[in-house]
A and B are shown apart, each in its own frame.
Chain A
């Protein structure tokens, strides 16, 4: 007889899930705050750098929100949860959406700092093709680790371009952008191999990540009062 009751092969920690939920909500709120708070600056200037910067945070917010769905399914083992039970496509589609949003976010954030030196005429089409490619791989493999490795390569390539652009050594913004992208990649590792990340390691990662996002939001609010 087939056992159809939900199985819990790994311990499900309600506190861990609560922290993950809290962390995601705060990050999504931070990302949306950056997006909405920079709207006036963009509308007044139509500045390309500002445009890609704010869309990068919008996509990061959406990526973190879709990551939560996968976290609930994989780490919380909530495959019996109604949205996942309703259709077999729910989980692969969540992977696809998460990969698309996050790849676009990384590409947009990098491009916002290098567009003056490396102007790509059809950047939107270019980034959409790359993001679609990564999301199709995510849909097929359903492996956050694979997505994070591809994004790591992308990040390394964009970093090389970024290093060729003169930076303002006083405020280290590009270091913060790099950290944001790295925290995203690590967060993918956490949902791919939750057993390899101790609870305290996950919490430390979330805390530092929140500090970095807060630093960005604080700076945005400082200027766009």
Chain B
């Protein structure tokens, strides 16, 4: 993912967050995800907790006990509908 120069809004951050996981064969560790989202540790934790709570992502453990982050069905649905959601919010000036 290229370096982001423009300030992203909340929806764009969530979209980027989920897309990084998807682009990584739907399995990524927390540290590389933090690096690639280009967020501060505090912001990352806030988004991470929010997405876990909203059931967009989940944490799984492999047989070596390492933690990976993957998308849920809801996370995939958000990604597929993002363009429509963004268009809707812009069109209705919300």
Binding site for B on A (CB under 8 A): 38, 40-41, 44-47, 49-50, 52-53, 112-113, 167-168, 171, 173-174, 219-220, 223-225
Contact = CB atoms under 8 A, between A and B. Distances in A.
Contact of A173 (B77, B87, B93): B93
Given A41-B85, A44-B81, A112 B54 contact: no
A220 B90 CA distance: 12
Contacts of B88: 38, 41, 50, 220, 223-224
A50 B84 contact: no
B89 interface: yes
B11 interface: yes
Contacts, number: 51
Interface residues of B, number: 16
B91 interface: yes
Contact of B91 (A40, A46, A167, A223): A223
Nearest to A48: B94
Contacts of A168: 90, 93
Contact of A219 (B11, B54, B74, B92): B92
B54 A173 contact: no
Interface in B12-63: 54
